Amino acid sequence: MADHDVDLFVIGAGSGGVRAARIASSYGAKVMAAEEFRVGGTCVIRGCVPKKLLVYAARFAHDFEDAKGFGWSAEPTFSWQTLIANKDREITRLEAAYSSTLERFKVQVVKTRAVIEDAHTVRLATGARVHAETILIATGGWPHMGPNIPGIEHAISSNEALDLRELPKRILIQGGGYIALEFACIFAGLGSKVTVVYRGENILRGFDDDIREHLRSEMQARGITVTCGQTVDAIEQAGDEYRTTLSDGSTVAVDKVMFAIGRRPNIMGLGCENVGLSCHEHGGIEVDEYSRTSVPNIYAVGDVTNRVNLTPVAIREGHAFADTLYGGKPTKVDHANVPTAVFTEPELGVIGLTEAQAREQYPIVDVYKTSFRSMKMVLAGRATRCFMKLLVDGTTDKVVGCHIAGPEAGEMIQLVGVAFRMGATKADFDATMAVHPTIAEELVTMREKAFSYGRDARK
């Protein structure tokens, strides 16, 4: 131990790195963490938290409109500058809270870039070298901008979208994943004319087909143009606007162009090649079930491993790493049945298998689903609908998939996740007393199967 300056050196003070650092320190390890930008990482500084604040802001437009059906009248005005200023103030507060936590746990933070020089040495941008018994990589992910098309320098990513000086009147977003669609709904809710361009046949690849179709229909009903089977091939600046040329030769004139076509593990210039770290084809650092890399004393957690790229997963992985190495409690992270939410409008909450996946995995699958207008929407006079779907293993009656589209779907799926962990059956859902009147009660009152089929059956 005397040969090392610290027991643990953490590269990246985001969600996973901060949790690993403070838990390791609580076990008595001497810990140093390097962060080249701001403490808190993607989620706190330029991801989940600021995005959710903008989601809340965008939803007020619908609330004001819906209020008329309940007897209220108002003529609201919106200030993008006020929203961004208030968002920035909250992010600064959270960063200070994260920094204070690390200080309280006696974790030394160096505000600089760190590069792996050898298996036990980290070189800081200041020129200093730190020798560590163990190195943890927690550098997260970074927006991928795709091929180098003409004019790509004019496109922004989700990073810049959170700090625009003005709300664009027209914006084109390329991408069909949750980041692209969340920002599409944010800008549309705040008054922008939004065009979504996606190369696939339908948005939200990897999600259940019914949920994908439901969200697309609802987004289009809200005035968002969703164009699938296309890509942006060129961006040309013309005065104060940008003319985008799509793969079919058509053009769209907008004030901003945003690319949200995915994120990649943030390993550029990290020094992985200096120690021969094994990486997947997709760029993620290869790790075992204890987050150990191909170099025995180097570990990696969070999005940089490209396992399940969600903040709570990174936190769990960071905690498990510290428990395993410093707490004497070898801990593996279960990446199955992770509940997740998509903060579009409507909001989505999902866990478990899609219908297609269930059909591949189980010989008999029972499908329950419902679509309905909530009480609020009826009085508000809006046609928007909620959608819920349960997938059940027809042999054991175990619920293997749950998909929700509607208000507070993220809150609902969190609690459904508890039932999943306990192996709940459809009979358990049926035996649960409904809370009335709520949207969530539909989860425990769906009695009639939409259909049931075997592995090779068709609807």
Q: Is 316 helix (H, G, I), strand (E, B) or coil?
A: helix
- Map tokens 């003529």 to a residue: 75
Contact status, residue 22 vs residue 107, Cβ threshold 8 Å: yes
Q: Which of 132, 125, 129, 155 is nearest to 143 (CA)?
A: 155
Q: How many residues does the chain have?
A: 459
Question: Which secondary structure element, helix H or strand E, spans residue 90, and what is its range?
Answer: helix 80-104
Residue 204, CA distances (Å) to 176, 179, 214 in order: 6, 10, 11
The DSSP output letter for 3 is T
Q: Which residues contact 74 (CB under 8 A, 6 or more apart)?
A: 64, 67
Q: Which of 25, 34, 38, 39 is nearest to 122 (CA)?
A: 34
Contact status, residue 29 vs residue 1, Cβ threshold 8 Å: no
| Whole-angstrom distance, CA of residue 61 vs CA of residue 221 | 15
Q: What b-and-e string marks burial along 260-293, b requiring 16 or more CB atoms within 10 Å of the CB?
A: bbbbbbbbeebbbeebebebeeebbbebeebbbb
| Whole-angstrom distance, CA of residue 257 vs CA of residue 242 | 7
Residues involved in catalysis: 436
Q: What's CA 159's distance to the chain center, in Å? A: 14
Q: Is 313 helix (H, G, I), strand (E, B) or coil?
A: helix
φ, ψ for residue 241, nearest 5 deg: -125, 170
